[in-house]
Amino acid sequence: MFSARLNERSARLATSVCLGIDPRPDANAYTHPARHRHDARAVAQSVADYFTAILENSHDLIACCKPQSAFFEALGVPGLEALQRVMARARELGVPVVLDAKRGDIGSTAEAYADAYLSDGPLAADALTVNPFLGLDTLEPFLERAVAFDRGLFVLVRTSNPGSADLQGLPVPSAAATATAQVPLFQRLAAALAERAAGLPADEHGYGPLGAVVGASHSQEAASLRELLPHSIFLVPGYGAQGGSASSVAPAFDGQGLGAVVSASRSLTYDPALREVDDLTELAHAVRRRVEAMRADLQRVAPTASAYGR
Amino acid sequence: MFSARLNERSARLATSVCLGIDPRPDANAYTHPARHRHDARAVAQSVADYFTAILENSHDLIACCKPQSAFFEALGVPGLEALQRVMARARELGVPVVLDAKRGDIGSTAEAYADAYLSDGPLAADALTVNPFLGLDTLEPFLERAVAFDRGLFVLVRTSNPGSADLQGLPVPSAAATATAQVPLFQRLAAALAERAAGLPADEHGYGPLGAVVGASHSQEAASLRELLPHSIFLVPGYGAQGGSASSVAPAFDGQGLGAVVSASRSLTYDPALREVDDLTELAHAVRRRVEAMRADLQRVAPTASAYGR
């Protein structure tokens, strides 16, 4: 089961790092050299080479990787080919791939997205991020594929951006309690997800295929969500460049220091300090040092990880 | 301006039809012949041939077309190449392309999606559907590209599926009125979008780049949303296979019978009655007859379209 594979890998390698793979425009002199400025195919090629090298150099330090589909899509068809290559290399190295594509649609269209990313096609990942705005019925095709193909999804519950309050933070009636009790929308959503997750297959620690995205900027909320969602692994963005610290992500972990992975991208792979470097070996080593530091930082708040499942 | 181009085309051709381009799996004997069962490249090729032929045969009857990205993504890289080919042909024929990809993400990731689909790259469309769940700040990169590149976006406000009530229908405090007034979430969202739209460039009829998706299954709501969102063109899905009729979509139009396009896909291009047909010419003619019928059906509820702008 995806949840068990992720937690067991996390415990075995004593890491909660989710390596964000975000090939941002003009991010460094290796992936985006000036001579490739108008050549998406050349950029896509060096992006694939870059992240392949990073995975090869740092795979033993990461729980999973998370390619951000948007940056690959921005490179067009060559970008999708690069994404496919990076995902294939991760698979060969045994690194679970969480594709961050935030898909969501209704009925047969949701089925098509689930077929694309959670079945066994060339763009299939181990897990996919999913947007629940269209309704809980729209999650079903994703859950069905996740169960059938042993994959996972991470439903957006509380994102790390300032504007996440606009809709996710609105007060709504609590579904469970009396009509007058109000909760933030994300909490009501989480309660509904918890109910759905309880009806899905689970691993021996209670985790199943229905995970949740809970941003690092909402530390106190993460603690109550952790209680509310015992069957859900949390994907926690917002560490590093977005300002989240190890202590702010601590509440996302369970009592065994598991049940969560923390993603960072810019601060690991596109540190501004490395912007002018164009040597792949030097870059891959520099990224490894940053991944090591993040892993150690997270170990301080989730120290029992290495004892899990032994 | 995108809104003016869409309304003027709609008026000139007396049509509100948005042709949905949804290459569903196993949909007919031309696009999905048995011999191509395990060959995504061959399917993608015939899908591109099919929808190109349909556009060539019916472009004079449609206000715009709406490729559904999910079905192309499900075909992998060859699917994206097919999407690119179909969009290029639509552009040559002067048919505005609304790419239905329901993208949404934060900060620089939203910028990447906007760069991919609303700037001038190979996958750029005239307009894009966007999911607002992450917050209003996440719409800004899309709006910025839309204004800069003369494109539009359609923000999901009220979708046509039964589960749309789960989040979009939740009672929340009205932003404008007293603290005790409650409105459905989609209405509060619409009010916020209306405010934002008022600050954007508008054409001579008041429409601008910030459109809205309002499903055909919510006829009464469409009437109040039409009043609330004077600057937004509506994209109305749910006609045809999903059960919406011309009278149910009528409230989406303005007093001149414009300001809205109504999409249908299955009922036009993949009618089950045509499932066994594998002749491209016969199919393209059959689709044209269905588009003609839908156009006439919509003219009954939006009859003044042909007088607009003259």
Q: Which of A122, A163, A173 sits opposite B138 (nearest CB)?
A: A163
Q: Do B138 and A161 touch (CB under 8 A)?
A: yes
- Taking 50 as the threshold, does the pLDDT of residue A310 lie above it? no
Q: Is-contact A222 A251, C-beta < 8 A?
A: yes
Confidence category of residue B307, pLDDT binned at 50, 70, 90: low
Q: Do B73 and A162 touch (CB under 8 A)?
A: no
Mean pLDDT (chain B, rounded)? 94
Q: Do B24 and A81 touch (CB under 8 A)?
A: no
Is the model more confident about B301 or about B133? B133
In DSSP terms, which residues pair with B23 in a beta bridge? none
3-state secondary structure of A276: coil
3-state secondary structure of B179: coil
**What phi and psi, each to the nearest 5 degrees, are found at residue B68?**
-95, 110
Q: What pLDDT score was predicted for residue A220?
A: 87
Q: How many beta-carbon contacts under 8 Å exist across A and B?
A: 187
Helix A76-92 vs helix A40-58: angle between axes, to the nearest 10 degrees?
20
Distances (CA, A) of A306 to A14, A152, A233, A300, A302: 5, 23, 17, 12, 9
**What phi and psi, each to the nearest 5 degrees, are found at residue A23?**
-75, 75
Report the 3 state secondary structure along A127-147.
EEEECCCCCHHHHHHHHHHHH
Burial degree of B6 (CB within 10 A; 0-12, 13-18, 19+) = buried
- The Cα–Cα gap between B291 and B264 comes to 9
Q: What pLDDT score was predicted for residue A180?
A: 74
Task: Among A243-252, B38-47, B236-245, name the one with the lowest average pLDDT.
Answer: B236-245
Q: Do A135 and B110 touch (CB under 8 A)?
A: no
Q: What pLDDT score was predicted for residue B135?
A: 97
Is the model more confident about B97 or about B220? B97
Q: Which of B71, B20, B12, B33 is nearest to B287 (CA)?
A: B20
Q: What pLDDT score was predicted for residue B218?
A: 77
Q: What pLDDT score was predicted for residue A241?
A: 73
**Is residue B310 situated within a structural domain?**
no
Is the model more confident about A308 or about A138? A138
3-state secondary structure of B66: strand
- The Cα–Cα gap between A268 and A253 comes to 21
- The Cα–Cα gap between B218 and A222 comes to 35
- The Cα–Cα gap between A70 and B104 comes to 9
Sign of the CA dihedral B80, B84, B90, B91? positive
**Chain A hits for B264, Cβ within 8 Å:** none
What element of type H or E holds A261? Answer: strand A260-264
Averaged pLDDT, B104-119: 97
3-state secondary structure of A100: strand
- The Cα–Cα gap between B238 and B264 comes to 7
Is the model more confident about A212 or about A308? A212
Number of domains in chain A: 1
- The Cα–Cα gap between A158 and B168 comes to 16
Q: Which of A22, A84, A165 sits opposite B77 (nearest CB)?
A: A84
Q: Which of A12, A36, A91, A102 is catalytic?
A: A102
3-state secondary structure of A68: strand
For the record, the structure tokens of B64 come out as 């715009």
Nearest-neighbour CA in chain A from B44: distance (Å):
14
Q: Which of A22, A131, A161 sits opposite B135 (nearest CB)?
A: A161
Q: Is-contact A13 A61, C-beta < 8 A?
A: yes
Positions of B marked active-site: 102
Q: What pLDDT score was predicted for residue B241?
A: 73
Q: What is the DSSP letter of A19?
A: E
Distances (CA, A) of A92 to A61, A85, B31: 16, 11, 34
Averaged pLDDT, B204-226: 92
Q: What pLDDT score was predicted for residue A306?
A: 52
In this structure, the number of other CB atoms found within 10 A of the CB of residue A149 comes to 16
For the record, the structure tokens of B261 come out as 């396009």
- Taking 70 as the threshold, does the pLDDT of residue B309 lie above it? no
Confidence category of residue B211, pLDDT binned at 50, 70, 90: very high
Q: What is the DSSP letter of B175?
A: S
Tell me which long-range contacts A140-145 makes (C-beta under 8 A, separation of at least 24).
Answer: A140/A110, A141/A107, A141/A110, A141/A111, A141/A113, A141/A114, A142/A110, A142/A113, A142/A114, A142/A118, A143/A196, A143/A200, A143/A209, A143/A210, A144/A114, A145/A114, A145/A115, A145/A118, A145/A119
Sign of the CA dihedral B64, B22, A127, A32? negative
Q: What pLDDT score was predicted for residue A179?
A: 62
In this structure, the number of other CB atoms found within 10 A of the CB of residue B84 comes to 18
Averaged pLDDT, B198-220: 93
- Taking 70 as the threshold, does the pLDDT of residue B176 lie above it? no
What element of type H or E holds B234? Answer: strand B234-236
Averaged pLDDT, B159-182: 86
Alpha-carbon Rg for chain A, nearest whole angstrom, is: 19
- Taking 70 as the threshold, does the pLDDT of residue B139 lie above it? yes
Its domain, for residue B96, covers: 2-305
Q: Do B161 and A135 touch (CB under 8 A)?
A: yes
Confidence category of residue B310, pLDDT binned at 50, 70, 90: very low
- Taking 60 as the threshold, does the pLDDT of residue B305 lie above it? no
Q: Is-contact A169 A103, C-beta < 8 A?
A: no
Q: Is-contact A215 A240, C-beta < 8 A?
A: no
Whole-number percent of chain A with pLDDT over 90: 85
Segment A247-279, tens digit of pLDDT: 999 999 999 899 999 999 999 999 999 999 999
For the record, the structure tokens of B112 come out as 């990447």
**Chain B hits for A166, Cβ within 8 Å:** 132, 135-137, 192
Query: Residue A34 belongs to a domain with what CATH number?
Result: 3.20.20.70
- The Cα–Cα gap between B290 and B270 comes to 10
Q: How many residues does chain B have?
A: 310
Whole-number percent of chain B with pLDDT over 70: 96
Q: What pLDDT score was predicted for residue B81?
A: 97
